[in-house]
Amino acid sequence: MSLNHTRCGRLWAIALAAIALGGQPESTLAQSGAEQFGSDVYWNATPNDMNNLLRGLSERDLGEYRMDIRTVGAIDPNPEQNPILFRTGHYRFFFTPEERERLREYMLNGGMMIFNTGLGSMPFYRSAVHELEQIFPEQPLQRLSSDHPIFHSFYDIDQVEYTPAVRAAGFRGNEPWFDAIEINCRVVALVSRWGLAVGWQGAVEDEHQAYQPESAFRLGVNILTYATSMRAWAQNAAHAMRFVEREEAATDRFNLGQVMYDGVWRTRHAGISLLLQSFNQRTGVPVRFGLRELRLTDGRLFDSPVLYISGHEHFELNDAEQMALRTYLQSGGLLIGESCCGRRGFDAAFRRMIEQVLPGQSLRAVPSDSPLFRHPNDIRQLAVTPAMMEESGSATISPRIEGVQLDGAYAVLYSPLGMAGGWELSPSPYAHGYDPVGSTRLGENLLFYSITQ
């Protein structure tokens, strides 16, 4: 279905546009109209789900929308025509290679795709996970933590109400369960583990593995609000860069190693590269930084005097990775960490990692009179993102860097606030971090410290 958003009499072509069919079920099911829409009868098992959600939005004066139904083949890779795709079902399905390529292009161009598990169907859920692994083999699907902006874009949703069947399935939590592919801090694909559509339909029964209607409605509003905001941001992002795999370039320069781990270790595709370029071009320091992506168990680890690690969500290092990082830090290496967008999941995981790698050590605030904040930029206050401004109550704050010292020098420097979006000149509208100027100045100081300590 194609949805257009009207507010205050104005027609918007941003955010909300298409409930798509697509993908073929693994078993053949008879259905009238299959020539047009395929043989999966359950793409429309709850025919009033989206209508009811959109009606609820209208009744609450949250916007007016319209929608249409399309096959994947009819989806325009330019999301201006269909900014959101919605796919629901009960059974296993698959996309063809051509459909996967079309959907990948669509999502990388700024579109967002939502998968709803009909009545919590595990076969459909597993198919959605599998298809996203095929569409984005380089970017893992991960569960979103409770502080993700999609749970706070309109309503603050930390807890939800489930049907008894969700409990019977073994899930004991009260938090919403969304898995997602995030690229450059934007959710491009969302999978709801439990059924949303039946809640929008208003026909929830105890045996359905689903959200209760009010919780389903609130989550639906948040999804559409998030998509609208992020679509507008993506359209106006200054960098407008494609998410593509880079080949690692050999270099004999001062190598900074970006740490790869099991999880989404690359949250902004070009951020660190742009910071290195800025440092090389603007500081006049006769050291040329190069970038190398590697795992902590890589034999080239000690060829990189500085490591950089970032993320959004929870992560863990295995025993071999912890041992390698411990040896690296105790041998004089420096680790620079950043919680991209200021997210709590990564922050908690990073702090726990430091305690495991360096027992008895913990992160402590770097004193404001440290040389770290004086060269090459004299930093007293930094401007912050709108979300951080709302949280702090101020347009500027003192830089927040924490560290761990070994033998009188910092072996770890960590920013609990986001910087990488600023390095790309386009921090997410939901990011808790520094603005582009502040991010770049602080990033340059971190690099300068790494070569002068």
Question: What percentage of the chain reaches a pLDDT higher than 70?
Answer: 85
Of 88-102, 160-174, 242-256, least confident by mean pLDDT is: 242-256
The average pLDDT across 91-115 equals: 93
pLDDT of 44: 62
The average pLDDT across 125-142 equals: 96
The average pLDDT across 295-308 equals: 95
Cα separations in angstroms, 350 against 104, 217, 270, 271, 414: 31, 34, 22, 20, 9
Rounded Cα distance between 90 and 42, Å, is 6
Asked whether the predicted pLDDT for residue 401 surpasses 90, the reply is: yes
Fold match between domain 5-236 and domain 254-452:
yes
pLDDT of 9: 23
Write down the pTM of the prediction.
0.84
Consecutive H or E run containing 56: helix 49-59
Structure tokens at 208: 């359905």
Question: What's the count of helices (H) and strands (E) in the chain, helices before strands?
Answer: 13, 21
- The chain-wide mean pLDDT, for the chain, equals 85
Specify the CATH architecture of the domain 254-452.
Answer: 3-Layer(aba) Sandwich (3.40)
Cα separations in angstroms, 52 against 17, 55, 207: 16, 5, 22
- In DSSP terms, 338 is beta-bridged to 310, 415
Domain chopping of the chain, boundaries? 5-236, 254-452
pLDDT of 57: 80
Of 43-47, 203-207, 297-301, 383-387, least confident by mean pLDDT is: 43-47
Q: What is the pLDDT of residues 375-390, one digit of tens each?
A: 999 999 999 999 999 9
pLDDT of 43: 59
Give 36's pLDDT tier (boundaries 50, 70, 90): very low
Q: Tell which wins on pLDDT, 365 or 278.
A: 365
Give 250's pLDDT tier (boundaries 50, 70, 90): very low
Specify the CATH superfamily of domain 5-236.
Answer: Domain of unknown function DUF4159 (3.40.50.12140)
Question: What is the 3 state secondary structure string of 139-189?
Answer: CCCEECCCCCHHHCCCCCCCCCCECHHHHHCCCCCCCCCEEEEEECCEEEE
Asked whether the predicted pLDDT for residue 75 surpasses 60, the reply is: yes
* CB neighbour class for 360 (10 Å; exposed up to 12, middle 13-18, buried from 19): exposed
Asked whether the predicted pLDDT for residue 74 surpasses 70, the reply is: yes
Give 237's pLDDT tier (boundaries 50, 70, 90): low
Residue 313: phi and psi, rounded to 5, are -115, -175
Consecutive H or E run containing 278: helix 271-282
pLDDT of 244: 41
Cα separations in angstroms, 223 against 72, 107, 150: 21, 16, 6
Question: What percentage of the chain reaches a pLDDT higher than 90?
Answer: 65
